[in-house]
Chain A
Amino acid sequence: MSKTAALNPSCQLVVIGAGPAGLAAATTAAKLGVDTVLLDEQPAPGGQIYRAITETPVTKRSILGMDYWHGAELVTAFRSSGARHVPGTTVWSVTREGEIGFSVGGAARLIEAERIILATGAQERPFPIPGWTLPGVMTAGAAQILLKASGMVAEGRVVLAGTGPLLWLLAAQYLRAGGRIVTVLDTTPPANRRAALPYLPNFLGSDYLGAGIALLREVKARVPVIGDVRSLRLLGENRVREVVYQSGTAPERRIGADLVLLHQGVVPNLNLANAIGCRQEWHEDQLCFVPVIDAWGTSSIERVAIAGDGAGIAGARIAAERGRLAALEAAHRLGRIDAYRRDAEAVAPRRAITRFDKGRRFIDLMYRPRAEHRVPQGDTLACRCEEITAQQIVEAVKLGSTGPNQMKSLLRCGMGPCQGRLCGLTITELIASARGVSPADVGYFRLRPPIKPITLAELASLPKSEAAVQAVVRG
């Protein structure tokens, strides 16, 4: 509270999100003399990839690995940059005019910014399969947060299912921490290999290749891995008890489970950008929407830049570099540096981006999740909050509801507390599949502020101007 009390009602730059992109952006801008405020929802910096980097109880460095500990450098640089950090802050509105509404410690505040950098990062792709709402079913990312922030490792019959680098990273981290995993059910479609193969030569030059192979070996040496897993279902009454699946064309199999950790990639967290009205487009390789940005991260709304995985999935190292580029452009537009210096300082970040981007296309195509795990059927819940099934969506399409926004008013999907955060992609892909068109033609929910639920008491705590009070006072 004391931190926000000291906050001015306006500043030159507000950065939203304290992951790699936000930390690097705020650091770069503040060091160039830009009056910078970093708002972050978490109590400590790091975002999700470097979650709890300053306070994790997991002190044995080999458990989380060097890619995690790299985040400490970003925090150290940020702390000496002069940027102001306001943790524990929920941003619920950003206007095109640069007014930002946020809540901290139960009170709402407004701040005006000349420029805004959104560094809202990524979230895990929904995994809408039968039973995915049962207690004891979580995401691999959730398990990783529990490990980083609380030093907690799953025990009992732990089953990992899905596809993508994070699944293997979590498995390796669990094993290093002394955890046990019953099995990894690899849902990667074998046909992906063929699609990704042409991009293998580019991946051969990647820093990630050696580390990735080592990770797979580390896990496969100690945990049975079942490949080509399809028709995944989770069973249980009050909590998950069983996983049912098919491997290739083999008959259905069942295994007991106390905890199931699902993962099939990450997608940009676009809620804030979407609510501001930043243009976005469908990315067919990554199967998600990404914002339309220029070479500096500037969105279709001139005041707003987007950096990091929120601008398209590229990983933590590139996120930080894109944060630096967005900050250089902000410093330039704010008159702190000329175009010559901006371009000169951008050389190193651009070089790093080229380096770390090697193999991205290979990874995108290799770990593209299968359609049946993205587009649910029958009774499977698409919208967890309002408990709307896939069948309900398909029937509404037949009745002529052709887009996600019509679907909202018809079925309430995306109108629960999560405001479509978790079901948005599923609803779009379901409608696209039912109509036989591309998700690009279907579009996404049109989101509006407040983009996170706030109480009326929080809103009422907003400081009022004299004019605002006069406008409603009688007599």
Chain B
Amino acid sequence: MFRRLPEPAVAPVSITIDGMPVEAREGDSVAAALLAAGHARCRSSSVSDAPRGPYCMMGVCFDCLVEIDGAANRQACMVRVAPGMRVATQDGRRELRA
């Protein structure tokens, strides 16, 4: 769905998506890392369980909500990847935990 331009080499950042190791790049948002790894869908909606994925990439639509390091409903497009980050796609309605 997306490929990276070859130049220049940007430092890799190792994260996991649903438990699978994924190599993101420094400066990636979590949403960019999801799309680069082929995840167009990152959650199902809270009302009808319909598939959703990143849409606006700038914090407007709230459709890229995922679980990051155990915290649900984070905007994947607004959080940068960090080494060892655990990202999980989420299904249906989630509790907003602190």
Contacts and interface: CB of A to CB of B under 8 A. Distances in A.
A153 B57 contact: no
Interface string A206-225: 00000000000000000000
Interface string A29-49: 000000000000101000010
Which of B8, B40, B96 has the most A CB atoms < 10 Å from its CB? B40
A465 interface: no
A57 B58 contact: no
B32 A57 contact: no
Interface of B: 1-5, 7-8, 10, 25, 27-29, 32, 35-36, 40-42, 45, 47-48, 50-63, 65, 73, 77-78, 80, 96-98
A457 B98 contact: yes
A154 B5 CA distance: 10
A154 B1 contact: yes
24 contacts: A43-B80, A135-B52, A136-B53, A139-B55, A142-B57, A143-B57, A146-B2, A146-B35, A151-B4, A151-B25, A152-B3, A152-B32, A153-B3, A155-B1, A259-B2, A269-B60, A384-B55, A386-B47, A387-B47, A417-B62, A418-B61, A418-B62, A457-B98, A458-B98
A157 to B, nearest CB: 10
A141 B5 contact: no
Contacts of A178: 5
A183 to B, nearest CB: 17
Interface of B (DSSP majority class): loop
B2 A455 contact: no
A59 to B, nearest CB: 6
Nearest to A458: B98
B58 A48 contact: yes
A133 interface: yes
A149 B29 contact: yes
Contacts of B40: 135-136, 239
A119 to B, nearest CB: 15
A138 B5 contact: no
A48 B29 CA distance: 14
A421 to B, nearest CB: 5
B2 A152 contact: yes
Interface of A: 41, 43, 48, 52, 55, 57-60, 123-124, 133-139, 141-143, 145-146, 149-156, 177-178, 238-239, 258-259, 269, 384-387, 416-418, 421-422, 453, 455-458
Contacts of B57: 138-139, 141-143, 145-146
A239 B35 CA distance: 13
Contacts of A385: 62
A436 B24 CA distance: 50
A422 B56 contact: yes
B60 A418 contact: yes
Contacts of A421: 60-62
A385 B77 CA distance: 17
B10 A151 contact: yes
A418 B77 CA distance: 13
A138 B55 contact: yes
